[in-house]
Chains A and B, each alone.
Chain A
Amino acid sequence: MMGNLLTLIVFLPLLGALILGFVPRSNDSQPKAVAMIATLLPLLFAGILYANFDSGQTGMQFTESHDWIHIAHAFQDKSLVIGYSLGVDGLSMPFLLLTAVVTFLGVLATKHMHRAKEFYIWYLILVTGLYGCFLSLDLFLFFLFLEMTLVPMYFLIGIWGGDRKGQVATKFLIYRGLASVGILVAFVALAYKAAMVTGVMTMDMIAITDAFAKAPADVITSSFKQGIFLVLFLAILIEEAFFPFHTWLPDTHEQAPTSISMVVGGVLMKIGAYVLFRIGVGILPDAVQYFATLIAVIGVINIVYAALVAMVQRDWRRLLAFSAISHMGVVLLGVAAMNQAGLQGGVFMTISSGLLSGLLFFLIGAIKERTGTTIIGALGGLSKPMPILAGFLLVAALGSLGLPGMSGFISEILAFMGAFKAFPVLSAVGTLGIILAAVYLLWAMQRTTYGPTTAQLEGLPDARAVEYVPMVVLVALIILIGVYPSILGDLVNHTISSYVTRIGG
């Protein structure tokens, strides 16, 4: 029964997009309904998979595998096989669930789009791309899905974006296109080296992982691994919007419509982190270990730099973008530690940051819809006209600054528990981010909701019934992870453990 659920999850949104092609252009509510179903069903299926997931196991589950493309004589006299293979393990399960939740809520958060039909078509193609990235077990397939996120994003920003949409959409495309190139180069190199070990040319992730784990040092030299890793890491820095390749992210968030901001901050941006865990730590652990100090330094630079820049932003969306960069710096620090707590903290932080970004961008979108602005200085005293939205903004800001009882804290402390073991001094510098996060988030939150209410903000409507869904769902998940972290920890623990044992050698 579970047989084809993964395929359904991946392609239902695309099917939705196809159906939308036949919906008349004029209708506004039909596209949204189709999009809602096309994202709700995958969410339900993801829930079923989660319920049937065996977290005690380290391998892939619910796998589907078919040979897809044969290229004869690609490697000496053997053919290259590209598989259509999907699967979930403890690492990808949280990403699957995150994608399912955020992409569905993104549809809910979308209202009155002009050219609604086209919007949802691109949106649904994007969603298929996102699912595909986290579920692919074949590097080539992964790459195709990654590319599948690029084009829809270009149009989603370019058509429905803010006043600088064209420029920012192009920037997005160039940056992430470059990252794709790096990823592809690294993938091909991985496949070729693996083929030299096994004699079989394949893009299969598991086979390549095994080949690299077993390969004698003279066949796959450590300098080769380091070389691939550097290319891959550079691509990840762009994908994940790390300094100095981060400038596309604040622009994207500033220009993109609310639901797209939610999906970018919540899911799309996390692909880079996923690649870092899956390919970096999973296939090239010695190279990660070799560059650990470099990774940690970049992590700390991002934590502190992005926090300081966030502090002086005038626009909520840019502030949140820098805040996300700062938080993802903690992921790099945790990964650099290359131990259980650090890696687990890294995954936690990635998921937590996704949920919190989704929530925060939704709230800022709701405030923009009412007040017409996201400029922090133009807001004030919103607690009075809209106590519910203000209350959720408070909760979201607190969650983001790492208040215990919410997902951010346990992520942060796990990552630092790992990081302080490996890099005590760098980690100590990194804790500056904890203080600075409180500074910029409380400032912005207070500037928005506290203080006297100006006349033109008086009497604005509070949250509508439908708006409660994204807010309550996201806050519930954020608190659930914070209060009962095992719900996430038990999923990832075994997979991470298997990575860690490989590092220990």
Chain B
Amino acid sequence: MNSQSSVVSHQLVPEKQRAGQIATKDTLIGKRIPKLDAPEKATGLARYIEDMKLPRMLYGKILFADRPHARIVNIDTAAAKAMRGVRAVITAADIELVPFGFGQDNTALKKDKVTCTRDEVAAVAADTPQIAAEAVSRIRVTYEDLPVVASTDEALAEGAPVIHAKTPDNVPFQFDYSHGDIEQGIRESDVILEDTYTLGRQAHCCLGTSGIIAHFEADGRLTLHSLTQVPFLYKNDLARIIGVAPEKIRIIQPPIGGGFGSKLDIHPFEPICVFLARATSRPVRLCFTREEEFRATPTRQPMVIHLKSGVRKDGTFTFRDVRMLLDNGGRTSWGATTPWISMRTFSSLYRVPHVRQHVDVVYTNNIYACAFRGYGNPQATFALESQVDSLAEVLDMDPLELRLKNAQKPGETTGQGMVLGTCGLADCLETATQHAGWGKKRRNVKTSKRQNVAAPNQPDRTSFSRDPMGSASTDLSSHRHIAHGIGMASLFHVGGGAKIYRSDGCGTILKLDDFGGVTVMTGSSEIGQGSETVIAQIVAEELGLSISNIRVINNDTELTPWDVGVHASRTTFIAGNSALRAARDARRKLINAAAARLKRKPDDLDLRGGKVVERSSGEPLESIGKIIRGLHFGRTKNELVMTTDFYEPPSTAPDKEQKGDISACYAFGTHVAEVEVDLETGVVKVLRICATHDVGRVINRLGIEGQVEGGIAQGIGYCLAEELKVEGGRVCNPSFTDYKLFSTTDLPELDVSFVETNDPAGPHGAKGIGESPLIPVAPAIANAIYNATGVRMTELPLTPERVLAKLKEAREKETISD
């Protein structure tokens, strides 16, 4: 265990570490604080976008192409326009078509051609949602169907149909990365493995579906009630598309029912709603149904990853050579850039001297993908951690030992130039495996392979518990067709923001009223991740106030200072630092004022429990409110306590080779999964997951446990069930009946623990956590399945049918080789 960090699990209090520093102070940091927005959400009082109505508001509805690849010959809107209650019908002919999206290959409405079923062709604004829906159904579009490119293979085939004329080879983007020398790595390897991993299409499934309200004020200003998770970038990008100056756009965010990366892009429905508002001179609301949400919002990138990696006999990693193929779909969002993050895992999860990665992003006529919690990292980690497990197997080495051997130590710089100031990877590996009982539970697959993979044709009847009167649907776990296994996987991710743009900062404006009430205006948005509570906690801690004294304003670009957005697990770190610094300034002002008033030295004073107290004894001297009023209504001088801060993290944007210290600190974690595999049905049951994360420092224990548990739920879903099926470009399962999420009642036992490395750059030592918990779940489960069955799963999701087919294939191979 590394000496600079301490392992804290569950209730073990972090206060201990700070005991010398603030012995008498009751700290809020690390406590279990219920989310500030929990009461209104739990009681149904939260007003989501669908609950909002503006005077004279109309309802928008979009006509989607519903064909994967076709030329638009004619659009007849006459019947729709003739309907009573219809206020506007627009097509591409009615608007200025400004290209947008990462590939500049999208427009709000499509003019000549549709390249995926979700392409927006026309839109209606009407008095009621029913009229709008009816009007959309009366729009007649004449198409000339074009050959459909349904997969990356088809897109890359000789003579494949061209999807976008400016990209004749259907490959709009390629990403390359390397450090070291692959050939040397190959020469130095004793074992080299090569595998192909196929990753499916996961949908974000935000419980609040997409929506927006666009409203032009009388003076031409535009107010948008939008669910974006990047309000300031959005304002700028949208301005160009809709032809409104950015300074005339105000973004107000109602409570957001989940983001997970889905709201990092501008989606066509948003400018469409603005165009409808402009066409009607009335506010327009446009909200998706659940079915539209499945059909017409982007997903996680489906990827095929070809990974070749090597290791020396002693377990030292030598090289990784990666080729990735992304199904980009028919348009390009920011999601096309997820390989930027995939490559950081390949280059920097464990020490590896030689790495090369080549990525082809390929157009198809499928629905397109975008950012999704982990941003390419879950896919990379699945491939890498599966192969690390295979390497351990070949070396006949415990997978834990192999990982520990290659885990970086604090202070190392990775091949991609990322400086690991604090690094709790080894501690995470040790803690998670200890909690899981790794040594005891893990069986050696090599020695027991023959017995367990054998087809369970002859059941061991003696092991049945027979209950002649009872139901037979009792626990079958004692039976021979059930195999147990345990597996692990780790992760590497940014923990202190990610400098993608020139600024990765966040601003805070803080003001105190005359009574010690604090308003914190922060640029960072609350999307359910709990940032509001963490910011309130940090400010309350600094000012010695109760958390109920803090009000966080985080949803109105007219009030809040700039922030790059909610992405890259950055909010606790970046917005937390900014809030901390603004609060420190306010604290200084209060302490100095109190010192002058009480004729004490500032260093002798502290703020606790709403009072100025004597630091050493804790004796209350004056209420904070009185100090503020003293400043405000002073005899000689009048002042308010208001502070501002803009925090820019000490990170650097990557260079042309994608190298550089992109984040102010880095996050690590290890998950150990225990599973039961039904060898006859292929059903995988996850029994337990032990998750340990290096989070720097826990700020809100309740919130961070929730983040980890939620990430695991999404990760199990990604691994076992979640797949938006797209066949011939068409979505097959656009409902929760057929798209399976793992909800709370489906979850296994979870053991969540934290390694606290106290990163010097983090607020109170904290690093980011948002995305991390999802990332290692799938490979941990797949490795556990391998441990149970001796069969390697390389394609997600692991539906019972897919698992059974793999088991059967392995059995058949065994039989042949016998």
Do A and B bind?
A: no
Residues of A within 8 A of B (CB): none
Chain B residues close to A by CB (< 8 Å): none
